[in-house]
Every structure is written in C-alpha cells, then in structure tokens.
Amino acid sequence: MTSDATFVASDGVRLFYRFDDHTDPWKDAPYLVLVHPGMGGSERLIAWVPHFSRHYRVVRPDMRGHGKSEAGLDKPLTHERLGLDFVELLDHVGARKAHVMGSSAGGMVAMQAAFRWPERFASLALYAATAGIHPDRPKKGNWLERVAKRGVRQFLTETVRDRIGNASPEHVRWYIDSAEGVTVEALARFVPLMASEYYPEKLAQFKFPVLMVVPDPDPMVDRSEYDKMHRHLRDGTFVTIPGAGHGMTAEIPDRCAETLRDYLKKLETR
C-alpha cells in the first residue's frame, strides 16, 4: 500500500507525508522514517521505497515549508517545533519508535528531535548531515543571500553539480522540480534556524546506534566536520562513498539505500 496523507500539527499547520507499506499485514513490522534534505521534499526519496517497504513501514514526511506541507509562516519556527512535527507524525501513524534516516538538513532536524525525544529512535542514519551549520560554511559561498536574491530554482541550478554530480539533464530537471513548494519566505526562516546552533559535542547524548554516510570528499562540507561528529558518537558507524555529491541520497539512491539496508540487518542480529 502506498498512500498520500496529511495531518494537522499541534499548532494548526497541515503537514503532508507519504506512507509506503508492503509488509505482511499480520506482522508487526518496524517503522522507517525517511527525512528529505532542505530545498526538497519526500519525492526526492522515492527510489528508496522499493528497498524497504516490503519489510518496513516507510514514512516520508514533507517538512513544514517543503513539498506539500504548509509553511505556517504565522507560527514560530524553532528546533523544538520541527521536532514536535516529527514526534506528532509518529503518534499519528501509530509508531512508538522508528528507525530514522535524515539527508542533509533532514538529518539536522532528526538530530534535534532525537536530543529531545530519544526514546522514539530505534536508530538514526545521517547522510551528508552535519551537526548544525558551522559558522564559516555559509560565508564561503554567500548561499543564504543567493537564495534570497535569485530564488530556489536558480540557486539549485547553479549548485546542482555539487549536489548530484554529473547527472543526466533529465535527472537534473527532476531534482530541481522536486523542490517545488519551497519558497524563499520559508527558507528565510528555515536556513537561519539550521545555522543557529553548531553541536557536534551533543551527539554524545545518543545512546542508540547511529550510522553516518558521507561523500568523500563532500563538495559542500569540510571532512573535519564529519570526523568531529563521529568522535563524539557512542555507537557510531562511519561510511564514506567516494565521488558522491552532497545530495547523494537523490544522486545515487540505490547505493545509499543499500548501505542503510545492510546496516539495519546488522542491527537486527545484535
């Protein structure tokens, strides 16, 4: 079963998600939540579904202000609010806890939720996701200002090679189209929030297993940021993918999904 649905968050904002479940109906299958990167939506992770939906109940939310979810521009936007969106989604679909994969900014949102509600996480996989945004990183490309001045589509067009490498023109077009629904107004609040805190040391709080998958090298993030995160993890597994772009979850989704699938299988044998 694959379905599109919405629910209303506790602050009144309507949020969209996709639910992919081809598990045996008589079994109590685990949940897997796939969180897309910023300037994207749940559509970006469509190729992951066949790898998991036979054995996991797969939930793909659109973060508020992305995809088909409302932005709630008249509501406060905080790390706690985005975390609440995640927890309220789990409550809505009936998941006591879930395995979670977050891509880039989606991983940042997942980490912030995990700091506040760790009991809802069976594991966390971070793909090209840093512990916040290092204060020096936005200065290197003035990308905050570029999005505001030129719009989301133009910014993605200018940076698409760093995100999905030498993808075909059709792949690039789909990638950029999948950012529809993301507005400059929403990003003007979302991006500064992601950059408001840098917290690699806080990852020591996680008592559940954490998988880090990073491009080698990442065209958009210095390797030292990932290494610092890994040093603070109690139960961390570190995997590099040579030659991948920062948006590798959409660039090489099968390779990325297989890495997570193998990791989850190992967790099952613990």
What are the C-alpha distances in Å from 64 to residues 68, 73, 166, 246? 8, 10, 30, 22
**DSSP assignment string, 52-85:** HTTTSEEEEEPPTTSTTS---TTS---HHHHHHH
> What mean pLDDT comes out for the span 91-106?
98
Q: Which of 60-74, 82-96, 167-181, 240-254 has the lowest mean pLDDT?
A: 167-181
> What mean pLDDT comes out for the span 175-186?
90
41 close to 21: Cβ distance less than 8 angstroms: no
Q: N- to C-terminal Cα distance for the chain?
A: 30
197 close to 132: Cβ distance less than 8 angstroms: yes
What are 6-51's pLDDT values in tens digits? 999 999 999 999 999 999 999 999 999 999 999 999 999 999 999 9
How high is the mean pLDDT of the chain? Answer: 94
When computed from its CA atoms, the radius of gyration of the chain, rounded to whole angstroms, is: 17
Band of residue 146 on the pLDDT scale cut at 50, 70, 90: confident
Count CB neighbours of 235 within 10 A. Answer: 12
Band of residue 144 on the pLDDT scale cut at 50, 70, 90: low
User: Domain range for residue 12?
Assistant: 2-268
Residue 217, pLDDT > 70, answer: yes
The helix or strand, by DSSP H or E, that contains position 2, with its residue range, turns out to be strand 2-8
What are 225-244's pLDDT values in tens digits? 999 999 999 999 999 999 99
Task: Read off the CATH number of the domain in which 211 is found.
Answer: 3.40.50.1820
User: Could you give the number of structural domains in the chain?
Assistant: 1
Name, in order, each residue with C-beta under 8 angstroms of 54's C-beta and a sequence gap of 6 or more: 22, 23
Band of residue 84 on the pLDDT scale cut at 50, 70, 90: very high
Share of the chain above pLDDT 70, in %: 97
What's the predicted TM-score (pTM) here? 0.95
163 close to 39: Cβ distance less than 8 angstroms: no
Q: 132's torsion region: left (phi>0), alpha (psi -120 to 50) or beta?
A: left
Quick check: helix, strand or coil at residue 39? coil
Instruction: Give the helix ranges, DSSP H, for 142-216.
Output: 143-150, 152-164, 169-177, 184-194
Residue 212, pLDDT > 90, answer: yes
